[in-house]
Amino acid sequence: MSTPWSIYRKLWSPLPPAPKGSYLAGKNLIITGANSGVGLEAVKQFAAAKPAKLILAVRSVEPTEKILDKIKQAHPGLDAEVMHVDLTSLESVKQFTQEVEKKLGRVDVLFNNAGMNPNFEVKPMVATVDGYERTFQVNILAPLMTTLYLLPALRRSKSPQVLFTGSDIVFFGDETAIKNAFDQGVPFVKAFNDPDTYDNPNRYAHSKLLLQMMTRALMPALPDMVVINVNPGLARTNLGREFDLSFSFALIRMIIWFMVNSRSAAKAARSLTTAVAYGKESEDYWSECVPTPVENTYLNSGKGIRATRLFFQEMLAEAEKISPGITKTLEL
């Protein structure tokens, strides 16, 4: 596990500039969560890379179209479009991917960037229309389903890339619930969708660690694609929009610490764009704009490896319940 010093070293590490050149020439790229924060800044950098088609997949279409108009003014000739998808609805995910198939036919880069943080308050679980805990669905299940639905379109590309936005919280987040579920033989999907044991303060960390486990297992299942989990680092975005910011001295300290140690969203987005520009092989973890070992001792332990394999099997079983036959082309 990372030490406090190594964490601060990562936070303060200077990053290389955003990739230059037309590395997206002739390529169709989709990025979810593209209307704010790191996702939006990545869109601006991707726009300069001359993509054949750039799809901004978001919940709020109209305001995003206004943002995209400004980006197009800065990049004349840019072929970009806003499409609707709501990750809290698996039907919306399915409809979105079907529309992508019709419009594009081929997807070269899929960036599963959208995510949510339910904040760190103690509060009850919120379920989606599909019955899953909201953060679990948005941060893990929906990105998996998006990827699986788009596998045919991705396989029409000569060099398909599937990327996920992870987090360095996997280094220091609380792993207890994940360890307990594995040790006690409780299915992960059941454990992390149980309102009686729901732990909101640690849910974001849990979701990102489970995402890391899932993407690690997805790499060998998709040997014909580049699969990368990307950490943008601590960034000044609206990811914490659900936080209760009632005044307190503790809040002031937290804000000061955050402002001192966080990156701008534009700098953080460089990890996303460098992964697309330079990522030629699947990578377990891409951070500070380069492939980086995951410094999580549990994931790298025997139990962690078995837990990862088991969780992936459970997620594929859920995917089959949602869309029978969807996992049949994976190499398992």
**Angle (CA) 90 91 94, round 5°:** 90
Contacts of 154 (CB under 8 A, 6+ apart): 107, 108, 110, 147, 160, 162, 225
User: Looking at residue 257, what is its pLDDT?
Assistant: 44
Q: Domains in the chain: how many in total?
A: 1
List Cα–Cα distances, 258 to 253, 262, 268, 272, in angstroms.
Answer: 8, 6, 14, 21
The answer to whether residue 328 sits within a structural domain is: no
The distance from CA 185 to its chain's CA centroid, rounded to whole angstroms, is: 27
Query: Tens digit of pLDDT per residue, the chain (332 long)?
Result: 455 555 555 665 778 899 999 999 999 999 999 999 999 999 999 999 999 999 999 999 999 999 999 999 999 999 999 999 999 999 999 999 999 999 999 999 999 999 999 987 899 999 999 999 999 999 999 999 999 999 999 999 999 999 999 998 888 778 999 999 999 999 999 999 999 999 999 999 999 999 999 999 999 999 999 999 999 986 565 654 554 555 555 555 655 544 555 568 899 999 999 999 999 999 999 999 999 988 789 999 999 999 999 999 999 999 999 999 999 999 98
First CA to last CA across the chain, in angstroms?
A: 29
Contacts of 261 (CB under 8 A, 6+ apart): 8, 11, 12, 234
Per-residue pLDDT tens digits for 186-224: 999 999 999 999 999 999 999 999 999 999 999 999 999
The answer to whether residue 331 sits within a structural domain is: no
Q: Rounded CA gap, 254 and 252, in Å? A: 5
The answer to whether residue 83 sits within a structural domain is: yes
Please report, as a single letter, which amino acid is at residue 92.
S
The answer to whether residue 206 sits within a structural domain is: yes
Q: Rounded CA gap, 127 and 154, in Å? A: 31
The CATH number assigned to the domain holding 208 equals 3.40.50.720
Q: Rounded CA gap, 257 and 268, in Å? A: 17
User: Looking at residue 251, what is its pLDDT?
Assistant: 54
H or E segment and range at residue 73: helix 61-74
Closest by alpha carbon to 33, among 84, 72, 74?
84
List Cα–Cα distances, 296 to 176, 191, 204, 242, 284, in angstroms.
Answer: 13, 21, 16, 28, 12
Please report, as a single letter, which amino acid is at residue 276.
V
User: Looking at residue 15, what is its pLDDT?
Assistant: 84
The answer to whether residue 296 sits within a structural domain is: yes
Going by the DSSP 8-state scheme, the letter that residue 29 receives in this structure is: E
* Number of Cβ atoms within 10 Å of the Cβ of 36: 18
- Contact of 195 with 125, CB cutoff 8 Å: yes
The answer to whether residue 49 sits within a structural domain is: yes
The answer to whether residue 330 sits within a structural domain is: no
Closest by alpha carbon to 31, among 19, 17, 47?
47
Domain with 311 in it: 4-322
List Cα–Cα distances, 331 to 219, 225, 327, 328, in angstroms.
Answer: 10, 12, 9, 8
The answer to whether residue 329 sits within a structural domain is: no
